[in-house]
Amino acid sequence: MDTTVTRSGLDGVVVADTRLSEVDGERGRLVVAGHDIERLAGETSFEALAGLLWTGALPQAAAVEATRQVLAEGRVRAFARLHADELGRFADGMDALRAAMARLSADDGFDAPANLTGAVAVFAAAWGRVRAGGQPLAPDPALPHAADYLRMLTGEAPDPARVAALEAYLVTVADHGMNASTFAARVVASTGSDAVSAIVAAIGALKGPLHGGAPGPVLDMLDAIGEPAGAARWIEAELAAGRRIMGMGHRIYRVRDPRAAVLEAALARLERAGASNGRLALARAVERAAEGALRAKYPDRPLAANVEFYTAVLLDAVGIDRAAFSPTFAAGRVAGWCAHVLEQRATGRLIRPASRYVGPAPLQ
């Protein structure tokens, strides 16, 4: 057995066989259970995508309706277990989401993917409402999942163009190979632990700015830059100060993240529907400037826009506050986490890698 640690980030180490998604970093391609992400986003409902991940096949209309119903039941079940007073204690939405999810019990039905997925949406939205000074809104089981999430979060009747954009986002981020949070979920599942514990671990991993915590800072960056003409100077100054440009670069992709294109297209559709935040042109200018500056600094390491770049602009245009961006990411990704928990359980194999001891030798 090769016990040499070559890279501490497990780069290129294959830790599972999966039927859920494939990330081709060289060609910039994302396949979810046999479907290119470009074909899914904008055409597939979140319910259908969840069905695809949980069963392995794109569901027919009746099965989509059945998933819509179990997701609605999951939201209602989670709302009954919501402790709104506690949510207000958290300044950070991911802290609140992690705490609210941790109160759930697998013995109370929360081992089921639909209930867990419903719960993340309900708790993320409830935190957003409490943070804005309001009261959590009860779910409306008659609504599709994306529409109800947006309604519970913003308190407004969902506008179809914005719901469509949010749905394209949730579908786009639902699964993405062996990313850090998915790996965290699988490690927990591999011990025989319950799905709530696996999802809580995944939320903790997603919170970090190197994973799911980047979109808020991307919007901060666009605000700081202000005008397309100021992009190059601002980016240069950041790089000169040794800081990373949020929304750029990826561990796997050596080209532009295909999800960036999908979300950029969803944003353009939203603009055409008249629901723009006017930031698309600025975002494109900043992306060009960042790509050029990073190419000059790292000529051997292509660093292009990742999913978070256009997530920021899209979710802002949808009407979601930047503080809720990462919880909204979790509301989409939880569908994938649940599928990976099921897949990992089916292997029956504990994930337990090794480490190399580099500490002092024991005293003789």
Catalytic machinery residues? 250, 308
Is residue 58 within 8 Å of residue 48, measured between CB atoms? yes
Nearer to ligand COA, 214 or 266 (CB): 214
Nearer to ligand COA, 155 or 292 (CB): 292
Q: Rounded to the nearest 10 degrees, what angle do helices 325-347 and 145-154 cross at?
A: 140
Mapping DSSP to helix (H, G, I), strand (E, B) and coil, where does residue 296 land? helix
Q: 129-148 burial, b for 16+ CB within 10 Å, e for fewer?
A: bbbeeeebbebeeebbbbbb
Q: What share of the chain is helix, strand, coil (3-state, %, to 5)?
A: 60, 5, 40
Task: Count the neighbouring beta carbons within 10 Å of the beta carbon of residue 178.
Answer: 18
Site track 229-268 with ligand COA (rule: CB under 6 A), x = hit: ---------------xxxxxxxx-----------------
Is residue 110 within 8 Å of residue 196, measured between CB atoms? yes
Is residue 50 within 8 Å of residue 332, measured between CB atoms? no
Nearer to ligand COA, 12 or 160 (CB): 12
Nearer to ligand COA, 78 or 94 (CB): 94
Q: Determine the residue with CB nearest ligand COA.
A: 249
- Cα–Cα distances (Å) from 321 to 153, 259, 324, in that order, read 9, 21, 6
Nearer to ligand COA, 44 or 306 (CB): 306
Site for ligand COA contains 83 (CB under 6 A): no
- Cα–Cα distances (Å) from 170 to 8, 112, 150, 239, 291, in that order, read 31, 19, 11, 31, 26
Touching ligand COA, residues 52-71 (CB under 6 A): none
Q: State the number of binding residues for ligand COA (CB under 6 A).
A: 16
- Cα–Cα distances (Å) from 172 to 42, 168, 176, 251, in that order, read 9, 6, 9, 18
Q: Which residues are bridge partners to 36 per DSSP?
A: 31
Nearest distance from residue 211's CB to ligand COA, in Å? 6
Nearest distance from residue 76's CB to ligand COA, in Å? 33
What gap in Å lies between CA 240 and CA 16, rounded to an integer? 39
Tokens coding 218? 């991307």
Q: Can you tell me which of 287, 308, 316, 343 binds ligand COA, judged by CB under 6 A?
A: 308
Nearest distance from residue 194's CB to ligand COA, in Å? 28
Nearest distance from residue 172's CB to ligand COA, in Å? 12
Is residue 247 within 8 Å of residue 309, measured between CB atoms? yes
Q: Can you tell me which of 37, 307, 324, 341 binds ligand COA, judged by CB under 6 A?
A: 307
Q: Can you tell me which of 115, 190, 306, 344 binds ligand COA, judged by CB under 6 A?
A: 306
Touching ligand COA, residues 177-236 (CB under 6 A): 210, 214
Site track 266-305 with ligand COA (rule: CB under 6 A), x = hit: --------------------------------x--x-x--
Nearest distance from residue 249's CB to ligand COA, in Å? 2
Nearer to ligand COA, 87 or 248 (CB): 248
Which of 149, 175, 198 minimizes the C-alpha distance to 324?
149
Nearer to ligand COA, 158 or 215 (CB): 215
Nearest distance from residue 213's CB to ligand COA, in Å? 8
Nearest distance from residue 179's CB to ligand COA, in Å? 8
Q: In what order do the strands lie in the sheet with 21-24?
A: 21-24, 29-32, 35-36
- Positions in the binding site for ligand COA (CB under 6 A): 210, 214, 244-251, 298, 301, 303, 306-308
